[in-house]
Chains A and B, each alone.
Chain A
Amino acid sequence: EAQVTQNPRYLITVTGKKLTVTCSQNMNHEYMSWYRQDPGLGLRQIYYSMNVEVTDKGDVPEGYKVSRKEKRNFPLILESPSPNQTSLYFCASSLYGKGDEQYFGPGTRLTVT
């Protein structure tokens, strides 16, 4: 089944404790991205990747890191999480880029206390 998987689905952590949210897709997609979703603000793009080893900032990259060592994986790293990073996070992938259908993962709800 073609899908985007994210882990964990739920995470409660404390300020400053490094964490990684994994994202994997099995559709051989070139383009992958991370979004955060907050009430009233819609989906805001954090980082995106056009291909392996190619990543670029989205609209809200501060406090986040990403890597794209393999085509299928695109982990999101929070080196020192803060309470303002409490949010619902989505990973997405598409065949080539922003104009193609985006396939979203199920989301990761992160709470930073």
Chain B
Amino acid sequence: TQLLEQSPQFLSIQEGENLTVYCNSSSVFSSLQWYRQEPGEGPVLLVTVVTGGEVKKLKRLTFQFGDARKDSSLHITAAQPGDTGLYLCAGDRYGGATNKLIFGTGTLLAVQP
């Protein structure tokens, strides 16, 4: 059972379009991180959200943590080819007895020029 489900799995859009990626769970998380991974490289952290309802902006990227801290979304405005990559959410499970970090299934984004 995957604790963190991402949707959509794949997304191919034209430059200039807007898009939203979702990261959902039935579990509560203390924090959620978003990473971007480019081909041939390891994931790189974009942002960490900690408070329920929190919204963080990183240039054209807007991240939101759900009020109940069970879900998160990533919205990209006016996508550019440089946004192409695999987007991964990762959660620190609230009250978890272990120190395992849980990653979502990933969303592969392709932005066509």
Contact = CB atoms under 8 A, between A and B. Distances in A.
Interface of A: 4, 31, 33, 35, 40-45, 48, 50, 56, 58-59, 90, 92, 97-99, 101-102, 104-107
Given A40-B9, A42-B106, A43-B88, A102 B101 contact: yes
Contact of B43 (A41, A43, A48): A43
A59 B105 contact: no
B100 A58 contact: yes
21 contacts: A35-B103, A40-B105, A42-B104, A43-B103, A48-B99, A48-B100, A56-B99, A59-B100, A90-B43, A92-B42, A98-B99, A99-B30, A99-B92, A101-B45, A101-B48, A102-B33, A102-B43, A104-B43, A106-B41, A106-B42, A107-B40
A95 B35 CA distance: 17
Nearest to B43: A104
B88 A90 contact: no
A58 B101 CA distance: 9
Contacts of B43: 43, 90, 102, 104
B29 to A, nearest CB: 10
A56 B99 CA distance: 9
